[in-house]
């Protein structure tokens, strides 16, 4: 079925309606249950041992198995959603990755739902890799994700909820016309992935970025669409840098110049700057740069040169990769997620039955200087704090050990405040074994 759409006379709302109709008319089908009928595959799962003293309690993770990139976080009809890369068959990265799905009402306590996207068609039969969610007018969330097709090529696919009235969005359907984007000329089949949340420019067209590489030049390709189904690649990338290699999980979003209030991804006015982030496959770090997005030319002009090395800005200098932000309309903030892949060995992961966590969600905004971002754990984290344990008037000498009763090293959350005297570089705080969840201050 073919439709002729006017680029100048069709309203965005009508285009969204047409998009939904096209999905139905072209035979969108429900995402199949992941390995639900394959007992042989299910038997390969590794159960997490019951006794695990270092099991995380306030960093998000599923009960067992491997996770990596956060995908499509969003706030929808009173519910926070987090999709993420997941191997349902074991604690190591898998040959067939899926989109797992969890929901929360406070970003702290999570309910694990059935998986959202699993390999099912020729366009994603070898894996459902990372992507994003965009909420279109009329509260219609659409997923754009990377599928590894039957030939091993990375292509971009589309999915939407089966039931928009379900705030949990438990079931998703894939567009039968997938893929909607394929690797452009000059781009290797395995160097084209991770579509961003889309934004709507003043001309009414949707834009989305896809990470890629040509030779060793990393870049963010730009695609535009009127209806969110038919996508056209621009003849130039939004931004690119020589010798940076593959750009994974790009992210672009506006931040207010004045204040900490977050704004929707499509906001474009003199009161915002734009952030462009990339996850460099070469060194597994996330880098970002502040600058200006020109919607007419579809180019990004950084405030400072971007090199893709230690001279650039980073969200975090620890284990932090494949980060993804979303606009939380409930509290007018931009929230940052990322994958922390820890430092355990392969054998450690097999023994414990799980691998990887998501970082604590953080609110993020522009510093008053306008030269970098500021971040802080979301306020809901405070609900995890229990009773306070304090030590007063204690001098900490060099190499000294101070035992603190009523707190454990593996508790869910602790706040350490040192107001006493600290001599000669360091002292050691020894946690007394206790079941209490507490704050710790040394005064």
Stretch 121-133: mean pLDDT, rounded? 98
Is the same domain home to 368 and 426? no
The mean pLDDT of 35-47, rounded to a whole number, is: 40
Instruction: Please write the tens of the pLDDT for every residue from 307-353.
Output: 999 999 999 999 999 999 999 999 999 999 999 988 889 999 999 99
pLDDT at 29 over 60: no
CA dihedral 43, 46, 50, 52 (to 10 degrees): 180
Candidates 156, 286, 273; CA nearest to 223 is 156
- 168 lies in the same domain as 182: yes
d(CA 173, CA 28): 6
Of 359, 379, 399, the last residue of a domain is: 379
Q: Is residue 251 part of a domain?
A: yes
Of the residues 329, 348, 379, which one is the last residue of a structural domain? 379
Q: Do 357 and 424 have their domain in common?
A: no
Task: Write the CA distances from 71 to 143, 276, 425, integer angstroms.
Answer: 9, 17, 42
Query: Which residue did the predictor score with more confidence, 347 or 50?
Result: 347
- Please compute the mean of the pLDDT values over residues 269-283 and round it to a whole number: 97
**Cis amide prior to 356 (ω within 30 degrees):** no
Asked whether residue 260 falls in the same domain as residue 206, the answer is yes
Q: Is residue 356 part of a domain?
A: yes
Rounded Cα distance, 349 and 48, in Å: 10
* Together in a domain, 215 and 333: yes
Note whether residue 52 is domain-resident.
no
Percent of the chain with pLDDT over 90: 72
Q: Are residues 374 and 399 in the same domain?
A: no
CA 198 distance to own-chain centroid: 14
pLDDT in tens, 164-184: 999 999 999 999 999 999 999
Residues 374 and 432 in one domain: no
Q: Are 132 and 144 in contact (CB under 8 A)?
A: yes
Answer yes or no: are the C-beta atoms of 169 and 159 closer than 8 Å: no
Percent of the chain with pLDDT over 70: 80
Residues whose CB falls within 8 Å of the CB of residue 39, separated by 6 or more in sequence, listed in order: none
Q: Which of 69, 149, 227, 286 is catalytic?
A: 69
Distance between CA atoms of residues 59 and 233, nearest Å: 38
Domain that holds residue 425: 385-442
Instruction: Based on the fold, state whether residues 66 and 132 are members of the same structural domain.
Output: yes
Residue 273 maps to which CATH number?
Answer: 2.115.10.20
On whether both 69 and 207 belong to a single domain, the answer is yes
| Distance, CA of 422 to CA of 51 (rounded, Å) | 36
Residue for token pair 């409930």: 330
CA 26 – CA 414 distance, rounded (Å): 53
d(CA 194, CA 210): 6
For residue 438, the model assigns a pLDDT of 39
Listing DSSP states for 106-127 in one string gives SSSSEEE-S-SB---STTTTT-
pLDDT of 200 reads: 98
Q: CA 385 to CA 408: how far, in whole Å? A: 13
The SS3 call for residue 325 is strand
The pLDDT value given to residue 394: 80
- Tell me the three state secondary structure of residue 21: helix
Buried-state track 287-299, b at ≥16 Cβ within 10 A, e below 16 = bbbbbebeeeebb
**Cβ atoms 130, 85 nearer than 8 A:** yes
Q: Is the dihedral of CA 336, 342, 347, 352 positive or negative?
A: negative
- 179 with 250, same domain? yes
- Out of 205-214, 216-225, 272-281, 335-344, which region has the weakest mean confidence (pLDDT)? 335-344
Asked whether residue 221 is domain-assigned, the answer is yes
- Determine the pLDDT at residue 9: 36
3-state secondary structure of 246: coil
Look at residue 442 and tell me whether its pLDDT is greater than 60: no
In a domain, 289, yes or no: yes
pLDDT at 437 over 90: no
Determine whether 69 is an active site residue: yes
Same-domain pairing of 270 and 401: no
Average pLDDT over residues 386-402: 81
Mean pLDDT of 209-214: 98
What's the token pair of residue 75? 């706030």
Looking at residue 290, what is its pLDDT? Answer: 98
Is residue 80 in a domain? yes
Number of domains, the chain = 2
Q: How confident is the model at residue 48 (pLDDT cuts 50, 70, 90)?
A: low
Which of 379, 398, 413 is a domain's end point? 379
Cβ–Cβ under 8 Å, residues 377 and 383? no
Residue closest to 306 by CA, chosen among 368, 418, 220, 392:
220
Residue 127 included in any domain: yes
Per-residue model confidence (pLDDT) at position 183: 98
Mean per-residue pLDDT for 193-197?
A: 98
> Mean pLDDT of all residues in the chain?
85
pLDDT of 152 higher than 90: yes
Sheet strands (E) in 257-344: 272-280, 285-294, 299-302, 321-328, 333-340
User: pLDDT tens digits, residue range 55-84?
Assistant: 787 899 998 999 999 999 999 999 999 999
Q: Is residue 420 part of a domain?
A: yes
Q: Please state, in angstroms and rounded to a whole number, the distance separating the CA atoms of residues 211 and 398.
A: 50
**Which of 60-64, 155-159, 204-208, 233-237 shows the lowest per-residue confidence on average (mean pLDDT)?**
60-64
Give the pLDDT confidence of 87-118 residue by residue, as tens digits.
Answer: 999 999 999 999 999 999 999 999 999 999 99
Residue 400's pLDDT band, with cuts at 50, 70 and 90, is confident
| pLDDT tens-digit readout, 368-383 | 999 999 999 999 999 9
Which of 21-30, 274-283, 341-350 is the least confident region?
21-30
Report the pLDDT value the prediction gives residue 426, as an integer from 0 to 100. Answer: 45
- State phi, psi for 262 to the nearest 5 degrees: -80, 160
Q: Are residues 370 and 411 in the same domain?
A: no
* Per-residue model confidence (pLDDT) at position 408: 65
């Amino acid at each position: 079925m073919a439709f002729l759409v006017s680029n100048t006379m069709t309203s965005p709302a009508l285009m969204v309606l047409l998009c939904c109709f096209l999905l139905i008319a072209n035979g969108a089908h429900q995402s199949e249950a992941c390995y639900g009928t394959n007992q042989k595959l299910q038997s390969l799962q590794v159960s997490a041992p019951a006794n695990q003293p270092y099991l995380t309690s306030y960093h998000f993770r599923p009960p067992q198995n491997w996770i990596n990139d956060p995908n499509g976080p969003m706030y929808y009809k009173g519910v926070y959603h987090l999709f993420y890369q997941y191997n349902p068959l074991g604690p190591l990265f898998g040959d067939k990755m899926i989109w797992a799905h969890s929901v929360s009402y406070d970003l702290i306590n999570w309910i694990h739902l059935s998986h959202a996207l699993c390999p099912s068609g020729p366009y994603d039969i070898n894996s459902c890799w990372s992507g994003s969610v965009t909420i279109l007018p009329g509260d219609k969330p659409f997923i754009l994700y990377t599928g590894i097709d039957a030939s091993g090529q990375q292509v971009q696919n589309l999915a939407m909820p089966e039931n928009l009235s379900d705030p949990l969005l438990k079931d998703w359907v894939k567009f039968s016309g997938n893929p909607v984007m394929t690797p452009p000329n000059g781009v290797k089949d395995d160097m084209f992935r991770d579509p961003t949340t889309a934004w709507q420019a003043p001309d009414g067209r949707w834009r989305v970025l896809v990470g890629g590489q040509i030779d060793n030049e990393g870049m963010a390709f730009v695609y535009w669409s009127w209806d969110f189904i038919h996508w056209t690649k621009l003849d130039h990338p939004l931004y690119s840098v020589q010798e940076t290699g593959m750009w994974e999980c790009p992210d672009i979003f506006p931040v207010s110049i004045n204040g900490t209030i977050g704004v929707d991804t499509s906001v474009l006015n003199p009161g915002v700057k734009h952030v462009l982030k990339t996850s460099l496959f070469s060194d597994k770090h996330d880098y970002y740069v502040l600058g200006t997005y020109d919607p007419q030319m579809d180019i990004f002009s950084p405030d400072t040169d971007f090199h893709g090395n230690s001279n650039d800005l980073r969200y975090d200098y620890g284990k932090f990769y494949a980060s993804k932000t979303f606009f939380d309309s409930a509290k007018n903030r931009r929230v940052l997620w990322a994958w922390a892949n820890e430092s355990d060995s392969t054998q450690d992961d097999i023994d414990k039955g799980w691998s990887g966590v998501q970082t604590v969600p953080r609110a993020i905004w522009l510093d008053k200087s306008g030269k970098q971002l500021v971040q802080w754990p979301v306020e809901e984290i405070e609900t995890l704090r229990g009773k306070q344990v304090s030590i007063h008037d204690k001098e900490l000498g060099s190499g000294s050990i101070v035992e603190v009763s009523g707190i454990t090293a593996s508790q869910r959350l602790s706040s350490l405040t040192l107001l006493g005297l600290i001599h000669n570089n360091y002292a050691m705080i020894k946690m007394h074994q206790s079941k209490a969840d507490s704050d710790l201050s040394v005064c």
